[in-house]
Amino acid sequence: MTTAWNADCVRKIDPAGVARVPPIRKVDRSGLEAGRIYWDMWPVQDRDGAIASIEGRELWMALSALDRGDPALRHFDAKIRLLERKAGAWVDLGDVLPGFPVDYEREWAGSSVTDGQAILLYLTAAGTSERPGGYQQRLVEAHGSIGPDGLPQAWTAPRNSITEFSPHYMLADAHEGQAGQIKAFRDPAYFRDPADGREYLIFTASLAGARTAYNGAVGIARRTGDGWALLPPLIHADGVNNELERAHALYHEGRYYVFWATQGVTFAPGLGRAPNGLYGMVADSLFGEYRPLNGTGLVLANPDEEPFQSYSWCVTRELLVSSFVDFFGLAGRPLPDDAGQANRYFGGVPAPLLKLAIDADRCELAGYAFA
């Protein structure tokens, strides 16, 4: 069953009652590479969705690029970097994958899972190597092993995860596009259902046959042998929102929670008062029917005076919430149109980790993960 996240839910959002991410006053770049920016992060997890401990290491991955003075350019240079969270700080350990000859241009977000010996990376292959700057997207994966030092090694060359397509989803195969308006087939997030042990990829999608251009969806594929078979979407937002980004699922106290991030500018006309934020729905089984968390779907939003300060929220089984520092320090001022001026406000580093509290269909901010 595919559940609709409908406009009535969004209209119920009360700005006065929204849980707000604490204001970000400064960024910490210690341990990170100078002249490099980071965004869209996720932890290396075990098959049950908990953050893995690998030979005593806590490893994360993030998209990264050299700082070229215009934050928008990072999306066309993105490559996945390996980070270690050590004594509360982030340490850059370099590129995750070696320089394989591939037919795509850059690496966008995904997920990674390990059993302590093998490690799998699911990622978005973006663009094409033949024609730079495109918005084409597909899901690919690479397999590796864990070395004696606890670090990934011996990666296989990335290969397509999805080889047969479904009439439920639009292909994200357009070269031209504009941020916030492109169609999606990206952000593969691994999930194993504790009910039967079956494995899935949850991903950001666009609904085929939609009534409107605002047709964001949460897609799902089930492992079948060595591949993955597409199933009908778990959730769609036809008529509501174009992008349900970084979609992922977790199991908590007998219920299934699906989370995504989205921006105010990707809502349909008339729903633009909804903020940049972390949204989600809950169901009693993986395939629904889903109910909007907190009655609206909104879980967390940036402060009114800093509406762009963080983005790309990702929730772990421990209910930790990661994100990155986007544009901060605006103090109620509009974001400058000039790229160079806007860059002065761009963080480009991991944001402080937060903690959620969940009680059935209620999901609230409990505070910082580590005081």
Give pLDDT tens digits for 279-328.
999 999 999 999 999 999 999 999 999 999 999 999 999 999 999 999 99
Domain ranges across the chain: 3-368
Q: What is the pLDDT of residue 91?
A: 97
CA distance 137 to 81: 19
Question: Quick one: CA torsion of 158, 348, 311, 229, rounded to 10 degrees?
Answer: 0
CA distance 206 to 242: 8
Indicate if the pLDDT at residue 68 is higher than 60. Answer: yes
Mean model confidence pLDDT for the chain: 96
- Pairing relation of β-strands 310-315 and 320-325? antiparallel
Using one digit for the tens of pLDDT, what is the confidence trace for 198-218?
A: 999 999 999 999 999 999 999
290 in Cβ contact with 283 (< 8 Å): yes
What are the tokens at 30? 């210690």
CA distance 1 to 336: 43
Q: What is the pLDDT of residue 180?
A: 85
Cis preceding linkage at 306, omega within 30: no
Question: Quick one: CA torsion of 61, 62, 65, 68, rounded to 10 degrees?
Answer: -150
3-class SS at 266?
Answer: helix
Using one digit for the tens of pLDDT, what is the confidence trace for 98-129?
A: 999 999 999 999 999 999 999 999 999 999 99
Side chain identity at residue 160, one-letter code? N
Indicate if the pLDDT at residue 226 is higher than 60. Answer: yes
Using one digit for the tens of pLDDT, what is the confidence trace for 4-52?
A: 999 999 999 998 899 999 999 999 999 999 999 999 999 999 999 999 9
Q: What is the pLDDT of residue 273?
A: 81
Q: What is the pLDDT of residue 1?
A: 84
Q: What is the pLDDT of residue 255?
A: 98
Paired strand residues for 280: 259
Q: What is the pLDDT of residue 178?
A: 86
Paired strand residues for 363: 358
Q: Provide the phi-psi class of 328: left if phi over 0, else alpha when psi is between -120 and 50, else beta.
A: beta
310 in Cβ contact with 246 (< 8 Å): no
Spatial neighbors of 131 by CB under 8 A, at least 6 apart, are 175
What are the tokens at 51? 């953050």
pTM, rounded to two decimals: 0.97
CA distance 259 to 261: 7
97 in Cβ contact with 38 (< 8 Å): no
Superfamily designation of domain 3-368: Glycosyl hydrolase domain; family 43 (2.115.10.20)
pLDDT band at 179 (very low <50, low <70, confident <90, very high): confident
What is the pLDDT averaged over residues 184-202? 98
Spatial neighbors of 197 by CB under 8 A, at least 6 apart, are none
- Long-range contact pairs involving 345-349 (C-beta distance under 8 Å, separation at least 24): 346/37, 346/71, 347/24, 347/27, 347/309, 348/27, 348/37, 348/38, 348/39, 348/67, 348/71, 348/74, 348/324, 349/27, 349/28, 349/29, 349/32, 349/37, 349/38, 349/90, 349/324, 349/325
